[in-house]
Amino acid sequence: MAITQLPNGRWRVDVEPIKGKRYRKNFKTKGEAQRFESTCRNKAIETPDWSPKPKDRRRLSDLVERWAILHSHTLADGPARRRLLDDLVKSLGNPIAIKLTGTQYAQYRTSMLQAGANPKTLNNRLGYLRSVFNVLYQLEEIDYPNPLARVKPLRLQERELGYLTQEQIEHLFSVIHSRCKTPHVAMVAAICLATGGRWGEVQALTPDRVRDGLVTFINTKGKRSRSIPIDPVLQAKILSHFKQHGLLSNCLNSFDQTLAASKIPLPAGQSSHVLRHTFASRFVMNGGNILTLQKILGHTSLAMTMRYAHLAPDHLQDAIRYGPMADFSVFFSNWPS
């Protein structure tokens, strides 16, 4: 008989719709078993090469491994992302991937928040794990939808973007020149302030990428090269620096220590990026176009650049011009003294 009930109450299908092709599977209910038997018979007749696909029993770590093989090489931070995902899988208990639910992830996130985890870090982890499922689904490595698709990121308080005043810039470079043994710190910081480049992008500059009044950044975070105009005086200074001191070295730690020694107050978590924020903030305050700034900074999304829009001289000035109390001279004329 094709369908029999087992001693444990489950139902076993043992069907051979075509000679030499036999399918066996256990189900909780008789109805499920009957549907499977019917499917096997019909599919085998219509498509002789058809075979029921076994259930995906791979664990989350197996999927991360496949993601690493198939996709991580396309990312600038592939190895670091892999290490983070491995830690995340361990924290989640390495469940069978297809059985992972949004509720399970939400419970893990709650426990991490209670333990003092940074909400931004947890949002990043959610995005990275979602990406694993999305990429493998697109590559047809898995055939089930993303189990975390409905888990919403935590809403975060927008972080303050600190920037340096002219006095603070002068003070910072004074401290750099007096404390730093490597000459590269001052040069990298100056280029960051002049171009809005990230510290790592500037550190990677070579003499052939500084010419014709431009510096060209490659291997950028957004995977797009970009060229930024610079003052001829700065170009000459950079090329002279290369001749005298060689290529720019990895000197971020020296800058961090110098910035701390300068005692310049900054929002928590900001270090070399304050130079990039300073360029962007000054650019907007001086009337620069926000779309031009997006291209200079290399942002793939305008939403990232719009964080600086509030610094524009005329930002939201229509609130004064067109609000219901626009003419305060009239309003206050009858105000009790």
Mean pLDDT of 177-192: 92
Adjacent-strand bridge partners of 24? 14
Q: Does position 294 have pLDDT exceeding 90, yes or no? A: yes
Helix or strand or coil: residue 3? Answer: strand
Q: By 3-state DSSP, what share of the chain in percent is helix, strand and coil, each rounded to 5?
A: 55, 10, 35
Quick check: 32 and 42 in contact, CB under 8 A?
A: no
For residue range 45-57, what is the model confidence (pLDDT) as tens digits?
777 776 666 778 8
pLDDT band for position 17 (cuts 50, 70, 90): confident
b/e sequence 235-253, b meaning 16+ C-beta within 10 Å: beebeebbeeeeebeebee
Interval 168-194 mean pLDDT? 93
Structural tokens at position 269: 């978590």
**Separation between Cα atoms, residue 265 and residue 163, nearest integer Å:** 10
Residue 59 pairs with which residues in a beta bridge?
96
Superfamily of domain 166-311: Intergrase catalytic core (1.10.443.10)
Query: Residue 292 in contact with residue 208, Cβ under 8 Å?
Result: no
- Cα distance between residue 17 and residue 27, in whole Å: 19
Tens of pLDDT, residues 63-84: 999 999 999 988 878 899 999 9
Cα–Cα distance for residue pair 208/182, rounded to 1 Å: 22
Catalytic site residues?
Answer: 198, 221, 273, 276, 299, 308
Question: What is the Cα–Cα distance from 209 to 180, expressed in whole angstroms?
Answer: 26
* Residue matched to tokens 């005086």: 233
- Give SS3 for 95: coil
Alpha-carbon separation of residue 22 from 36, 79, 82, 337 (angstroms):
13, 44, 41, 97
Q: What is the pTM of this model?
A: 0.65
Give 275-291 as a DSSP string.
HHHHHHHHHHHTT--HH
Residue 1 gets which letter from DSSP? -
Residue type, 16: E
DSSP letters for 210-258: EETTEEEE-S-TTS--EEEE--HHHHHHHHHHHHHH-SPP--HHHHHHH
Please check whether residue 75 is in contact with residue 81, taking contact to mean a CB–CB distance below 8 angstroms. Answer: yes
pLDDT-derived band at 220, boundaries 50, 70, 90: confident
Sign of CA dihedral 127, 129, 130, 135: positive
The whole-angstrom separation of Cα 10 and Cα 26 is: 7
Task: Give pLDDT, residue 62.
Answer: 96
pLDDT of residue 322: 61
> What is the residue extent of each domain of the chain?
3-46, 60-138, 166-311
User: Is 161 a residue whose pLDDT tops 90?
Assistant: no
Distance CA 76, CA 221 (A): 7
Q: Which pLDDT value is given to residue 285?
A: 87
Say how many C-beta atoms besides its own lie within 10 A of residue 184's C-beta: 20
Task: Note the pLDDT of residue 325.
Answer: 59
Enclosing H/E stretch for 17: strand 11-18
| Helix count and strand count (H, E) for the chain | 15, 6
Question: Using CA atoms, how far apart are residues 313 and 288, in angstroms rounded to an integer?
Answer: 10
Size (the chain), residues: 337
Q: How far is CA 159 from CA 40, 155, 156, 266, 270, in A?
A: 57, 12, 8, 12, 10
